[in-house]
Chains A and B, each alone.
Chain A
């Protein structure tokens, strides 16, 4: 099981070198690199070619000059070349700048393509970021709206309660007012009774001390 796990961890993403990504062994990687270098067939060392003379856009990496002309085809080619030799400076004059121009254009186009790829990637990144920000803003706004709605419902309930409370207070105050009036009337009657009893007291005193 452990070996199986280790096998899974061991990478072959580069197609050649075996690497245990969880525990990189640099010396082992270098050993494998050097074994591969040693196992390569020995090629004659190529002359150092100046950049301008060959370009990857026109020559594939392993491009090599074809062998010289042979047989009838070769003789024919030689004949044509011989006929055209006087014109060769003119041909070179016409061809070389074009080649150079095409080469430069291809390099420019390549650079432009890279630039466009980069800009597209940036735009895509920016759009993704904006989308994420919009989502976030929407989410926050919705959360705040929900909270505000909750507040409104709660305030509505409070208003109802306050309304009931006010109504009850009005009723109670009315009752109290009636009660006050009633007590005032009782008080007035008691005053009158008291005054009458005073008069009666004085009348009785007169009769007694006659």
Chain B
């Protein structure tokens, strides 16, 4: 089958959740024999949408990549001000279109190319409901449209504009049941194909996790955070809770890995390792007492699944329903909704290694059962068969 993916950014250097999700799905489907093409922009940064890649065609791991340049960069400050206004004040439909333009990435050439060439593809898969490329892309094509919303409960979902986004696709591929339920409260999916699928996780082969400790000089038990280090991901709250925790307990470190987008306190029990190779990340996850996922807004959280795949339980925000669902379905971690919960959960993980071990095993089983690549790809194949059958019945 010929499949087109439409996503706001794409590339090996792009590590955003939904972008990486899209790349992994496209590459796996290409490996399975489908002809995959990606329509994307030349931007690398989701903050500025600055054109950094070359425009045109290229190939990445068996997938054809079509890049189109972004018309203008994003002024984050102006966008935040406008968002703040639009989310809290009565406004007109045109204001929402303005908001979408400010959100970006403004890339009309991508939309035009997609509209022109859509007949070359059997299926069009859009990633992330939130961006210009998805809204205008969905509006301008007539083919078999699939949306992978990667949504979490956040103010843009409540804009009227989003009703159009969620009414156009013929099929939806959700990351978790919690995401599906949350979106079902806001939009109607009656008569549409719906599947909870997520993304596959490779179970890493760990030769010697102790090399991580030696390489980075970490010999104490530690809690790990892996991901973008920024207030929007709940890191400020995490640091505050952890500092409060270690005032009385001096035997635990907080290790942070990933891109740093905020200042970190100068504290001997907080270690920032920067951007580490993926093998080191897997080893760090395997060695951690627990990995913590403080974000209030997640639709899947691949870092959590990676942690579970190496038998390390997770500690998550109670308010983040997809993550809480991982824990309740997989029996593989604890959740918190304040510093006291956080402290008690960390204490319990330290005091009860048997509970930690069993939760780790449960987590690995959960990932193998729900998020292994054969399971995920099988769900996509079922989706494609459904869309093809629908087409046949239409022409009969």
Contact = CB atoms under 8 A, between A and B. Distances in A.
Interface stretch (A91-99, A115-123, A140-148): A115-123
Interface stretch (B50-58, B102-110, B288-296, B343-351): B343-351
Interface string B347-381: 01001111100110010000000000000000000
A29 B354 contact: no
B248 A30 contact: no
Given A26-B327, A118-B213, A14 B355 contact: yes
A15 B351 contact: yes
A15 B354 CA distance: 12
B341 A17 contact: no
Nearest to B362: A24
Given A14-B351, A34-B341, A114-B220, A27 B328 contact: yes
Interface string B228-267: 0000000000000001100111100000000000000001
Interface string A2-14: 0000000001011
A37 interface: yes
B340 interface: yes
Nearest to A51: B267
A29 B334 contact: yes
B335 interface: yes
Contact of B355 (A21, A34, A46): A21
A118 B219 contact: yes
Interface string B202-225: 000000001001100101100000
Contacts of B137: none
Contacts of A204: none
A114 B348 CA distance: 23
Interface residues of A, number: 32
A187 to B, nearest CB: 87
Nearest to B213: A118
Nearest to A56: B250
Interface in A28-62: 29-30, 33-34, 36-37, 46, 48-49, 51, 56, 61
A26 B328 contact: yes
Given A24-B358, A26-B331, A26-B333, A14 B213 contact: no
A108 to B, nearest CB: 11
Interface in B320-340: 327-328, 331, 333-335, 340
Contacts of B249: 61
A13 B352 contact: yes
B373 to A, nearest CB: 27
Given A49-B247, A56-B250, A115 B219 contact: yes
6 contacts: A15-B351, A19-B355, A26-B335, A107-B268, A114-B220, A122-B210
